[in-house]
Structure 1
Amino acid sequence: MLLAACLPGLLSIAAQAQTAETPPPALSFEQAATLQSQASARQRGAAAGVAAAKADRDAVSTLHRPQVSLDVQELRYQKTITVPLNGVKQGVQNNVNSALTQAAGQVRDQYGEAAGSVADQVAAQVSSLLPGIVAPIPDSLSGSFRQNNFRPTVSAVLPIYMGGAISAAQGAAAAKLREATAAEGIATDADRVSLVQAYFGQALAAQVLATRRDTLAGMDRHLRDATLLEAHGVLPRARRLEVQVARDAAERAVLRAEGDYRTAQLSLASQLQSGAVRTATPLFVNQAPVGPEDGFVLASAANPQIRAASGAQDAAGSATKLVRAQYLPKIYAFGTYNLARHDEVPTLPDWAVGVGVHMTLLSGTDRAAEMRAAHAREAQSAAARDQAERDVKLTVERAWTLTDTTRREYLSEASSLTAARENLRTQEAAFREGEGTTASVIDAQNLLGDALVQRAATAYEYDLALIALLTTSGQAERFESLRTRADALDAPTDDDETP
């Protein structure tokens, strides 16, 4: 509905452009391809995807390097310290009793037994007094303090063995880059096919319009001859009316061809994101085959769709390795250094280095199920690649057959076109001599027009089949070289495409 509503306005704009004094600029196919590549949003998006994939690959290329971090903390903390004294009190008593016993023994040895008995009595009295002396001492001492602390620390962790996770992550990023590059190729090929369709579609529409105008001019000449013969009583009025009907039909065909040409101009202008242009490169057909079928089948390994499927398969394989890495231990080296050792918590080290091992024993997810899913995705991507290879091979074979068939059809139509031209010349001459019929001239004129249109359509079909063959086999860049090859035949075209 929206297209139907906008189409009259678009046609009006195109008509105004065509009726302007300055004709639209003429572009060769190569110039149109350059303009399209600059204007294509599809190619810009694909290029952005490649840039993003390259950045992702570069981001994980340094995973083997150590990770160094700086932590700065401002702390306010409280510390409570409790010192038990029960053991100290008992130790004091034991030590004093031991010292008294030792002193009494020394008195006995030096002054005799009598002095020793006195010393034992004194020691016994002192010992009896000790529990009372140490009783005021508490069983424990407790104290707390608060402090502000500034803690800047530098830490480093160096991965030694990550269970294959690093190489898997890097492999996945590289596979994603291959996918993005293939997607860019797919976008470029799609634009090239669309350009061939639009550019040579306009060339075909121009050729059809020129042919229909020539047919109308021929019908006008035939009508003038018929009118003159009717005026001299040689031709019945009914025969002249037959010519008039045929001439009016030819005029309607011209109007239809003009509409088709303007629509083709809109299509090409949309591809180029520009105003209306004229095509400077005519339709073409190569006289010789473009190459053996087997060569195109072998070259199809470079097809972007196959490369994208291959990249997806590699990415799935890397994903499986990442899941497998969850089962394996991780070994790393680490180090830390305090930058403010003068104002640090006493229990924290100034620096520390070491080696650690980490292994997940129990995960929150079912790792066995994750592994089964990874294997299934890997199998799915492998099947998708196999299917892509088969589809591309079949498409190449079909495109090669169509390309060669249309090439031979175009070459065989040359004799038909020559015969149609000679037939028209003969029928017109016979009619002017009064020996031919109006129907014969009308049929000959229409036959020639149809032959010209058919040959141009065959050339257009060849060009479409050729670009399909080249893009499917990953050789889209060969289109221009085949178009300019020595055996390339330009299909008849009209230098003036102004409707």
Structure 2
Amino acid sequence: MKISIRIALTTAALAAVSYLPAQEVGKALTLDEAIAVTLTDNPAMKAAAYEERAAQQQRRAAIGLRMPQINLTGAYAYLGKDIGFDLNGMKTPVKDLTGKILGSGLISPELIPSIQGLLNPMMNADWFLTIQDQSLGFVGGEVTMPIWLGGKINAANRAARLQERSATEQGNQTRNALISELVERYFGLALATQVVAVREQVVEGVRHHLEDARKLEQNGMIAQSELLYVEFKMAEAERELANARLQRETVSSALSNTLGRENDWQPLTAMFLIGDIEELAYYQDMAEARNPILSQVSLTRQLAQENVRAQRSAFLPQVVAMGGGMFYNYQVAGFVPRWAVGVGVNFKIFDGLNREYKYSAAKQTASRVGALQNKASQDIAVLVEKLYNQMLNYRNQITSIEASLNFAEEYLRMKNAAFKEGMASASDLIDAELNLAGVRAERLQAAYNFDLTLAQLLEAAGISDEFPAYARRMDARVILFDQK
């Protein structure tokens, strides 16, 4: 049974294609193929993918806050002068002291010249003791490791994970919106194609009636005014056909924009009508669980709470382990240590109430987002109910229109028979023809509205990917202008 229905759907789709003139048939594709192309080539999906990858990298960057920070440093300096102790001021006291000792008679006079020979170079030397040369340089490294920052690192990592999930939900929202846009333009092109077929059929029928009217007018069987009326309707039908073809070109360009590929597209999947629809509660439950907007609002609320925790960490002490050493040095004083390790603690006592105000602002933001979350949930529930009721209304419209279609077809048949018997005028027959075309176009429009509203309903419920499955359901009924 399922196979036979699929064969029928394919046959109906191919029949729809056959109504186009040869020059208007472009690249044919099914709805599933159109969705696959859109989700691959549409620039919006590519942008969403870049956003998700950026969020992933931000999450990985946040993990690095827990890791030690290792730096390699090097420096060279030229000081204004050497660093040391200047003892030249002690030369005079020392010189006086040595003179007194040498002149005291305690030392043999023979030794005094030798002693003075030894002391003179010392007394003439520069008594500046250099500790550090004025030119120095070094190469070394340092390591810092956060031990406790008041919970700021944990909050940053949780926030990064939430932002990554938010980017994913943003991608899902873009995906669902694109599927709805594709349905609008894909079936919009299917509708425009069917309307062109309707208008072509009308033009062909009116042209046939015009030929008959001209013959009847030449034979004096109808008044000239009736011929003029048929000619007027012929011009009107040709104008509407031209407008329908222009509309088809416009929608085809819009579809190419959604697909991300330029071509003269031809839909293979026909518009359809579903007999059995799930209850409203099903779509509302799905929206509550899977709607990307609600998910993003929930994640935004969690982000606001993490910001509260991050601001609260400013009131707590921060503890960091650190260490460093020199690998190479140039003329650095030997008493300078070559390595050092330690632990640093920073506890801010007062900062002008900056922390207090930021913490209070973060709490207010969290409360605001919470209120917005409740409103968003209610808005989505109302939207789902509105779309659900609209969808049922369009389905009921099709049922009513099909009753009118039966009447219009029978009325045209009666007028055609009466015209052949000379019991009806050509204008009556044309009016019946146009009435049938109008009912067929109205039925197609209602089917298009049904499919578009279904796509919007699934988007609100967060399950747009399931739209093609609706078209393949057992109770899915193809809607074409010449089929019931």
TM-score of Structure 1 vs Structure 2, range by shorter chain: 0.7 to 0.9
Q: Which amino acid aligns with 2:193?
A: A
Alignment of 1:25-424 (within 5 A): 25-77=27-79, 78-81=82-85, 143-145=129-131, 146-272=133-259, 273-289=261-277, 291-301=278-288, 302-340=290-328, 344-363=332-351, 366-424=354-412
Q: Deviations over 1:285-324 (max 9, x none)?
A: 11221x1111111111211111222222222222222211
Higher-Rg structure is: 1
Q: 1:59 Cα shift?
A: 0.6
Secondary structure of 1:362 counterpart: coil
Listed as ranges, the matches of 1:452-463 within 5 Å are 452-463=440-451
Match of 2:455 in 1: 467
The residue identity in structure 2 corresponding to 1:267 is: A
Q: 1:341–1:350: 8 Å Cα contact kept in structure 2?
A: no
Distance 2:387 2:86 in 1: 91
Deviation at 1:84, TM superposition (A): 13
With over 3 angstroms needed to count, the CA separation of the structure-2 counterparts of 1:19 and 1:404, relative to structure 1, is closer
Structure 2: gaps spanning 5 or more residues = 1-19, 94-122
Partner Cα distance (1:201, 1:479) in 2: 16
Aligned to 1:126: none
Contact 2:35/2:182 (<8 A) preserved: yes
Q: CA RMSD in A?
A: 2.8
Does the residue aligned with 1:288 lie in a helix, a strand or coil? coil
Q: Which amino acid aligns with 2:170?
A: A
Cα 1:296–1:60 change in 2 (3 A) is same
| Matching residue's letter, 1:67 | Q
1:287 is aligned with what amino acid?
Answer: G
C-alpha spacing 1:67/1:19, structure 2 compared with 1 (3 Å)? same
Q: Indicate if the aligned counterparts of 2:176 and 2:463 stay in contact, CA closer than 8 A.
A: no
Residues 153 and 338 of structure 1 are in contact (CA less than 8 Å); yes or no, is this contact kept in structure 2?
Answer: yes
Alignment-mate amino acid for residue 234 of structure 1: M
User: What is the SS of the residue equivalent to 2:65?
Assistant: coil
Amino acid in structure 2 at the alignment position of 1:32: A
- The TM-score normalised by the length of structure 1 is 0.79
Q: How far did 1:463 drift? A: 1.0
Give yes or no for contact 2:48–2:170 (8 Å, CA) kept in 1. Answer: yes
- For 2:333 and 2:309, the matched residues in 1 are separated by 44
SS of the aligned residue for 2:238 comes to helix
Counterpart amino acid of residue 85 in structure 2: I
- Asked if 2 retains the 8 angstrom alpha-carbon contact of 1:482 and 1:488, the reply is yes
Gaps of 5+ in 1: 1-17, 90-136
| Offset at residue 342 of structure 1 (A) | 9.7
- CA distance change for structure 1 residues 336 and 455 in 2, over 3 Å: closer, same or farther? same
- Of the structure 1 ranges 228-237 and 298-307, higher mean CA displacement relative to structure 2 is found in 228-237
Helix, strand or coil for the counterpart of 2:359?
helix
Task: State how far apart, in whole Å, the 1-side matches of 2:326 and 2:63 are.
Answer: 30
- What is the rounded CA distance, in whole Å, between the counterparts of 2:422 and 2:303 in structure 1? 80
Aligned-pair identity in percent equals 27
* Mapped contact 1:161–1:332 kept (Cα < 8 A): yes
* Residues in 1 aligned to 2:421 and 2:481: alpha-carbon distance in whole angstroms: 33
Amino acid at match of 1:210: A
Residues 1:493 and 1:266: Cα distance change in structure 2 (over 3 Å): farther
Counterpart of 1:95 in structure 2 is none
2:416 is aligned to: 428
Q: Which residue of 1 aligns with 2:103?
A: none
State the alpha-carbon separation in 2 of the partners of residues 84 and 384 from structure 1.
81
The answer (yes or no) to whether the contact 1:178–1:307 under 8 Å persists in 2 is no
| Alignment correspondent of 1:120 | none
Question: In the aligned structure 2, how far is the partner of 1:426 from the partner of 1:487?
Answer: 34
Q: Distance in 2 between matches of 1:271 and 1:65?
A: 45
CA distance in 1, matches of 2:322, 2:152: 19
**CA distance in structure 1 between the aligned counterparts of 2:480 and 2:352, rounded to whole angstroms:** 73
Measure, in 2, the Cα distance between the counterparts of 1:84 and 1:284: 108
Aligned pairs, how many?
Answer: 426
Q: CA deviation at 1:431?
A: 1.2
8 Å contact kept, 1:225–1:432: no
Give the residue type in structure 2 aligned to 1:236. A
Label 1:395 to 1:311 Cα distance change in 2 as closer, same or farther (>3 A): same
Q: Deviations over 1:377-398 (max 9, x none)?
A: 2222222222221221111111
Give the Cα–Cα distance (whole angstroms) in 1 for the partners of residues 24 and 478 of structure 2: 27
